[in-house]
Amino acid sequence: MAKFADKVIIVTGASSGIGQSTAELLAKEGAKVAITGRSEKGLEETKQLMLKAGGNEEKILTIAADVTNEEDTKRIVAETVKKFGKLDILVNNAGAGTMEGYPDSSIAQPLLVYDYINNLNARSVIALCQEAIPHLKASKGNIVNVSSIGSLRASPNFMYYQMAKAALDHFTRILAAQLAPEGVRVNVVNPGAIRTNWLARTGIPQAAVDALEKSWLNVWLPMRRVGEPIEIAKTIAFLASDDASYITGQMIVADGGAVIATVPMPKDTSR
Ligand code: NDP
């Protein structure tokens, strides 16, 4: 039997990258999936991938929505429950960082940028959880948040993003402690560098993204490669599944070894 047969799952940020791959995997595993994001084109692409993976039309609900808007977060949960009659799993994956208003350091980025980035990566997750929790208590379901290894590091470029993801990590732990007695699990996946549009969408030019991969990731990163979206999708699916039935409040770092590594000594260092 498919792992997620009859499970009703919301995946935010499903119009691209990790969320798209997660929706595809869950459809393959029999789930009824509500896919959401702002780009209708991206959502249609995801739907086609889900159908190709073995999903069927009646098990897919497409909701074009902006998670930073509270009316939209209410609508995402309400429309899902209206169509499928329940909710088992909420995957809070939508997120982004930005170089917007970046002069020469991230502390100088306008506070309006902070407000948006915090809303997108942390506040919107709280809003979605508030709507979803009554349904998850009824189904003894679970929540998987998608954070970043950025929450564990200090990049001079992405202060507000990393702060928001750190808040998301701790929100996960606190919510997990609150909901565990009611049979609802809450966990978080912290990806490292994954091959999606994420970095390019921050506003960093593609040439710089390519150069970064060549000069840094392939030299310093222990696994010597960026990850693929499906590798994070599988981690999300594990935490969402009954295979993780005794795991709550936990963070799984999936990063090719990035956070455990230090920069290697230069090759020509000799005694
Ligand atoms: P993508 O840019 O490919 O996807 C981001 C998704 O978030 C899109 O589906 C986008 O949809 C959605 N999104 C962004 N803003 C909004 C909004 N206001 N309302 C609704 N949806 C929104 O990047 P990834 O797939 O890589 O990112 C997925 C998650 O993984 C994010 O939380 C990201 O921070 C995290 N992550 C990614 C890493 C990487 O290297 N790729 C590393 C660490 C963490 P749309 O534009 O249609 O609204």
Helices 124-139 and 70-84 pack at an angle, to 10 degrees, of: 20
Q: Cβ(13) to ligand 1 under 6 A?
A: yes
Q: Which CATH number fits domain 8-198+228-254: 3.40.50.12780, 3.40.50.720, 3.20.20.70, 3.50.50.60?
A: 3.40.50.720
| For the chain, domain boundaries | 8-198+228-254
Tens-place pLDDT, residues 156-201: 889 999 999 999 999 999 999 999 999 999 999 999 999 999 999 9
The order of strands in the sheet holding 32-37 is: 60-64, 32-37, 8-12, 89-92, 142-146, 185-191, 251-254
Tens-place pLDDT, residues 60-111: 999 999 999 999 999 999 999 999 999 999 999 999 999 999 888 899 999 9
User: What is the 182 CA–ligand 1 centroid distance (Å)?
Assistant: 30
Q: Phi/psi of residue 16, each to 5°?
A: -165, 160
pTM of the model: 0.97
Q: Please report the atom of ligand 1 found closest to the CA of residue 165.
A: 34
Amino acid at 135: H
What are the b/e assignments for 92-115, b being 16+ CB within 10 Å?
bbbbebbeeebeeebeebeeebbe
Residues 15 and 24: beta-carbon distance below 8 Å:
no
31, containing H or E segment: none
Catalogue the active-site residues. Answer: 161
User: What is the 13 CA–ligand 1 centroid distance (Å)?
Assistant: 5
Whether complex ipTM tops 0.90: yes
